[in-house]
Structure 1
């Protein structure tokens, strides 16, 4: 609907024009008798077209037009008047009128022409407003752009935005209408001139190029420039977009420095490195690799088989080496391995290998080699010396130990075994002497040990302490400690003087009969009156902090403990207070001599009749040394695993020889009895080999921490490895993960193997999970012949029908408190249920 304002001092004319124009139904006409009234109404309303008479009392129509244009109002304006002098027409058009229409003659024709002019003016006005709005938006876009924008015309800067001005450090006024070359370093001008000379020609030029521009301060700013030809103010011009790439350049320089550093480390390390792709082709190696393997510089140009031959011929077991290399490249590309290589010339290398990862993809393999020949010889010398010390120890009459600088017991005699309750195998290399010292004596003895390492005379040679054996029994010990000359080792002998102290202890116990039970235990116990305040504490806790019990009662945690430790304790206190449920957690606590210890803390709320927590009973045990022992045990297990692997490898070699001799003997035995005996020998040899392989799998159990395993993934991996030809596998586990030993994949492999070998007619295997009391069951079932009732237990025994596979599966599951049983019916298929306790499973989708 077109909105029209008609201004005329003739009321009759106003009425006629209004009636005629509104008769079409596509416009509304508002009328006023004077230009002054028109100005007032224009301030209040918007109109698409203004139609005005020229001669009116007071302000004329042209005066009205000039006033509107001065105010910036560009509403289309038509002068409709009886005056037709040429000077009036010229003045009207020069003042901004869109059209001039003279009254007179046929009124209907004039009004029709007026309508046409109004329609044309309306469309023209809309187009002008749209263009102006578009220009405004474009200017805002240019001004707010993060890139610099420049327009060059006639070799002068005709426009630049604020970002560009900021980039070069000038104001817009300082560079406007200047030569753009003032912003270009002299050495960059040839590149720019060349680009400029080809610009706009038919020759193909890059859409953008890198260069540098000059900041007002003289600093060079690296940029990327894009250019285009445009019309600017109706004349040809060049349009440039300039992007500051300073940060990108800094990043590139940093990456180059890091790469150079890594390359230097790669070449300067004492280990030899070899990197190959998935097909065994060499990607990279360092100089140390060539030196260790005594191979020429031409190694890189050799083909893969030549390289392998050159390397393996130096080893005592070349075929085993080649087999493992190919296994890791083609069959187990994701495996990480560590082993020992023995050379024919007596050298010994440690070999470590892991997959080369690019993103989530395996791109090849990295091998590292370290010459440990000298270290191995030293270890052998130490072993001989240790045997000598052991002989001496075993002939003494007191409990005696040899201790490393880190307080680990490396030798212990039989008397120490009897005193501690531990065997030598459990002690040597695995336990620190601090485990046997009471909480009270341990700090003092540790300080003696520290001083003795600096100056043997700085610590007492003889002293008494409480020795706590395996069963927790405390012995009064008179200890004599000395250093082994020329080493950091110390020798300690322990005389049990418990009987001597017993009479004194009985009298002391009578006096302490009224002491609280809390003071008779080594566990640290205290009360929390509120989340931030200590109540009563036991002696163990006070001793740990080096304070008196009475000094702790009523103290704020911030007054006693470092801020971070106090915040951690308060947080768990508040959780127990607010939930009303016990809280178990690990907390770091600094003891009285400033050493941080790891505690296992349990906080039990004492609830009142209203169900609110009145106070907390807290207990804690120092598990720092336990963690250290745990790490030592894990290292020992690793060494035992390597030893077992070597022994098993040697036995398997001998079994291979035995099989060969048996095969040779077969050609010389002609009687049936002799052939039968030879056959039994061969079967016995094969059983030994299976037992050794079973033992190999057992060695790996428990060597790694349990981890969260995505069950469906390892199940499908096992199915892929074993090959389920003609058998369908249905899995419904809803994103199930279980906390299990990393070998748990072998459980499902053995179940699949059991179905294929013993199921006879298996065509479908289903695996799904169901919730049961106190946990969850993973159900594995097939549609084979099933398992007889009398064999359901036997299949899990080492000598059962399932050989060692299902027995091994049960042992793997037991490491994380899982169990397995067979619950199927004979003739309807096998059905195994794996019980997973609460806390050992979770669902990713939930």
Structure 2
């Protein structure tokens, strides 16, 4: 019973355990079903992803030593155009028997259970297209084969490789040096041409930072600061492009171009630099410029009238000689007239029907001819014509020479030969040697008959006889070529019996020789005058300085109604006039004239016409009418108002004094472009000029006197009208100092015209300075050391500067000044330039600067502003003040220098 109960309990326990296990199994089954469902959903999702993937995929299952295609997705169907359906269940060994590498890749992937990649070109499903194939192992025995069509990418890569190779080839074969840097100024490309141009060391090429290359190139260029500044500027302004030229110390010239590298959205990726060697081109341009200048100079200075003609005979280029020959300015000819317009009617048909003439097509190498040339005034001249075709063009160059005088001389010679033959045939001495239809007594008269010598003194300035040969000099006024100086020698011809049968004379034109001799004589006279002026100007100005200074001090101290005030005023005025006379002497000597102010000539004229001097002149010449024709838009010139004023005064005074009775003086100004010759000048600078013309209807100037009127002290009337007695010599010197030209036209008995040309300046007029208030130049108890070799000048300076509230000490020379400055401090030196004996002002200032580098000084002198004055100013000296000076002049100069910042 007990055994049965035990068995029963055991069975109940087992049954309970079984019930629990059943419950657990039911629970596990439920969980397993959930897992199965999740797995099923995941499988469905993966299968959907597999099927919808855009990458063609094939699933192979390993069976033995082969692989069977068991699945594929929609992309595989599309890429194979549906053919893959027929291969499902197919063997890889059979399918890829001609492409064993695919089977090998599948076996490799299965063996190592890793991804295998390969690029292939299809010959089955999509022949000719490129694919990237990925083999991926999926346990336990599957291989997923993914294929991606990379045909376009491969083509793009191939195109990119080709373009890159092409670009590199272009870069390295370019004639330009090329440098590319990124946005961080690091070099990313440097071509071979740039390396060769700059001879860049390898160590710098290995450094990608552009700074190393920049530092290297800066050491090679001629202007390193400018080069570096431009590079840094462009790096700071990434949106700017630039083009310029760089000069290297070696002489090489590079054309530099730089531009930013920008993306489509404007993003800055860096900068590209291009460098082209233009050295040969620059040299060629310079050589071409020199060649053009040379040929232009040759064209202008051939000595003959020269023109260049177009194919249709239009004149396209003329030189100055042709302007003179034709009477036209070149603007009236070039491109506007044909050369045939200057041919006389009687010669025109002959020239035009003759082959090879200018403007015709006949290919004749060179031609010469003669014809009658008609100028703008209707005058006819005989000219010799020579022309030739310009190689490589359809243009012709023609040269014309006026041979009228030669033709007349030839005719005269022929006539003389006929008459001489007649004379010798008759056996007597009667003859007639015409000079343009008029017989003159010449040396032959005296050779053949001593009685004829009585008239020779009227024709020859001097003559003499030596060993039967007569020599003489003369001056002829009514020749067709104008007034001429000549020299002549004559001798008799004898027969075998010693009898005179004829005479021979040789005449030489000495006109140019005489002109040069006259110029030399004038230069010697001016040099002598300059020596005189230079010798006395300094001492006289020192003396006048005392008179002016003390007269001004007296005027400042005396009451206005005092008689002494009047006397002091006369002393001051007379001293200033004496200083003006010295200035005129310096003007004639071409020394001491400053032409640095901007001047309007109309204002200078107006100033003189409003002066007491002009009123006095009008009082004495009330019968003369003065007419003004002043251009309203007159350009400015650079000049000296004082000297220009004296020039106007002298010319107007001379013009009015030249009119004995009723008459007119005309004052005219105008702007003129000067591109033609002026009588008396070998070279005239082309350009814009202000022209001043003063003419009169007076008695005129004799032809033989015109060349002398500008000589110092030459006159045929009472002198002194200008206040200096130097007249037109001052005018001549002033015009020369202003780099101008002067032209005189005069007909005896019909009046005279002086025309002055002054080069234009584009600078504007500066407003005239009003007289300064004394407070503007008063001192503030600064210390001044006066250095002057003349005691009375030192005393005057002390008095004047004390009145201006300065502390003043004086020394008599440069050595004393140096000694004083070694132990004393002064704010300013008042330094005389010329001191005797001892060192002069320049040498003194040099040594002072060595002792005290910041020492201020102003220079004073009784002479002109010389080169030594300018050298002192270059060393740091202040203004130059000419003696005699007044309180305002010296006060302002000192105040300006003391206030000047070092």
Query: TM-score normalized by structure 1?
Result: 0.31
Higher RCO (C-alpha under 8 Å, 6+ residues apart): 2
Please give the TM-score of this superposition, normalised by the length of structure 2. 0.29
- Computing the radius of gyration from Cα coordinates, the structure with the larger value is 2
